[in-house]
């Protein structure tokens, strides 16, 4: 746990939250500044700053929980779609340095812009070289 981390304070109960699920590894709660109705967050109880730092099994647990919650949100909130986001580092727009996954229900015409880019074809040789480097490191 981190003394200064807002999510660690929520996990410890120092800061109140609207919990929707809790187990020994994770906590899911409603976002207090929701992008849309039903926007919730899933965090590990242990303080881990980014995906680079987290144990893959713990991240898998969070992903499994997001999948379970998405099914319930779909049934209860009835969005037309959903976004699942996990941001890392300042350049990746991570605001709270504690791993967290967002589940954001979406409706057609909601005018919410989360991530917008125009696809531009990349350099095939550069893409292949990067893929080779990643494969070799695995």
Strand order across the 101-106 sheet: 19-22, 26-30, 40-44, 101-106, 81-85
8 A C-beta contact, residue 112 and residue 35:
yes
Query: Is 100 among the catalytic positions?
Result: yes
Res 45: pLDDT: 98
Res 68: pLDDT: 97
Catalytic residue among 39, 47, 98, 100: 100
pLDDT at 115 over 80: no
pLDDT tens column, 54-88: 999 999 999 999 999 999 999 999 999 999 999 99
Q: What is the mean pLDDT of residues 87-109?
A: 96
What whole-number distance in Å separates Cα of residue 80 and Cα of residue 77?
10
Which residue's structure tokens are 């590990």? 44
């Amino acid at each position: 746990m981190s003394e200064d981390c807002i999510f660690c304070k929520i996990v410890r109960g120092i800061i109140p939250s609207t919990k929707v699920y809790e187990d020994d590894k994770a906590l899911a709660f409603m976002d207090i500044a929701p992008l849309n109705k039903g926007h919730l967050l899933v965090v590990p109880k242990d303080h881990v700053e980014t995906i680079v730092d987290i144990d893959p099994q713990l991240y898998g647990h969070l992903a499994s929980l997001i999948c379970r919650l998405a099914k319930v949100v779909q049934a209860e909130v009835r969005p037309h779609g959903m976004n699942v986001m996990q941001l890392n580092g300042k350049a990746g727009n991570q605001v709270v340095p504690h791993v967290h996954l967002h589940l954001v229900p979406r409706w057609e015409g909601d005018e919410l812009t989360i991530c917008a880019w125009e696809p531009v074809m990349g350099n095939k040789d550069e893409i292949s070289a990067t893929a080779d480097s990643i494969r070799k490191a695995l």
